[in-house]
Amino acid sequence: MFENCNFLRLLVRRIAVAASVVALATVPYSAKAQTSDNPSEESGHQYSSSANYSSSLDWKSYLSTDDISGNDLAESPGPSPQYGRSSNNNRYPEPTGRWSHLALIAGAGFTAPVGNTAHGWETWGYNLKAGAGWNFTKHFGALVEYQFNRNKIPGSTLTQLAIDSGSSVPLGGNVNTWSFTINPIFYLPVTKKTGAYVTGGGGFYRKVTNFTAPVLSLSCYFYCYVGYVPTTIAHSSSNQGGLNIGAGFYWKALGEDSNAKLFAEARYLWVDSPVASIQNPYGSGTSSLIPVTFGIRF
């Protein structure tokens, strides 16, 4: 009887131990299955008890081989070209902003008289220029330009005028010619950074001739003093039409993709100014100038 009790007790203990081993063995498989089949809803991401699992790879399941085929990559558009560069040479480059077609110019230089103007009426001087317009294509544009030319009157002419007028003081003088003109421009690229252009047009010109003489007057700057100051004693003016034509060279000093271009140009300027008359005794007739200008354009 005692041996039977010991046998039953030993059998129950072994069964309990075996059941515990089976239960412990099934726990990892159950946890793994639960992690794989049931994503966590608390944070919106998948987590796993396995150290080799990475939720950052989940996005790959949403891609197919068609999404990364070579044909799709070849047909995908590239970055938009910047101003001054285009895959189609016959079209204006895609603008990079609202004002990418805007054309601007500013410059200064010297002015030489030619033709009738050089025959004792005017001598060398200087010019200033500014303008704005629109580039319709990379080869063609149009600008409205303001130009101011100032030339001196030759000393021999002034001396003769003083003698003829009986003046006992030396005379000075200058001729100012300013204009507002409309000028088409044709760009002729040579390389990606250099090129040439041809321009010309016409518009309104005003010519003013001034004669000066030293006059004793009181001048005040940092202090006041009495001295002789060149003062205009006579002048004549006229308004008329005129034409200009010229050519120049440009260089994109800041790079081939830049809109800024340094330029040097020369133009022939013809003004239909009146000849000398009683009303305009200092009229030289038609005026011809060659302004040579250096500056920057966009």
CA angle, 238 as apex, 106 and 211 as ends, to 5°? 85
Token duo for residue 159: 């001396």
Q: Are residues 126 and 261 in the same domain?
A: yes
| 247 belongs to a structural domain | yes
CB atoms within 10 A of CB 244: 23
Q: What DSSP element (H or E) covers 196?
A: strand 194-220
The answer to whether residue 92 is domain-embedded is no
Q: What is the pLDDT of residue 48?
A: 44
Residues paired with residue 195 on neighbouring β-strands, in sequence order: 189, 250
Q: Is 57 inside a domain boundary? A: no
List average pLDDT for each run of 10 residues in the chain, which is 298 residues long.
54 63 54 47 44 45 47 50 47 57 95 88 94 93 97 88 79 93 96 95 94 83 80 86 96 89 96 74 79 96
Quick one: pLDDT at residue 9?
63
- Whether 32 and 111 map to the same domain: the answer is no
pTM of the predicted structure, to 2 decimals:
0.63
The distance in angstroms from the start CA to the end CA of the chain is: 116
- Residue 97 falls inside a structural domain: no
143 neighbors 183 (Cβ within 8 angstroms): yes
- Domain residues for the domain of 243 are 102-297
Q: Are residues 13 and 108 in the same domain?
A: no
User: Is 55 part of any domain?
Assistant: no
pLDDT of residue 15: 66
Assess if residue 81 is contained within a domain: no
Structural domain count of the chain? 2
Give which of 23, 19, 48 is closest to 33, Cα–Cα. 48
- Domain containing 255 — which CATH number? 2.40.160.20
Instruction: Map tokens 């800024």 to a residue.
Output: 260
Q: Are residues 184 and 283 in the same domain?
A: yes
For residue 59, report the phi and psi dihedrals to the nearest 5 degrees: -65, -20
Residue 53 in domain: no
Verify that 27 and 137 share a domain, yes or no: no
Confidence (pLDDT) at 146: 98
Neighbouring CB atoms inside 10 A of 127's CB total: 23
d(Cα 161, Cα 163) in Å, to the nearest integer? 5
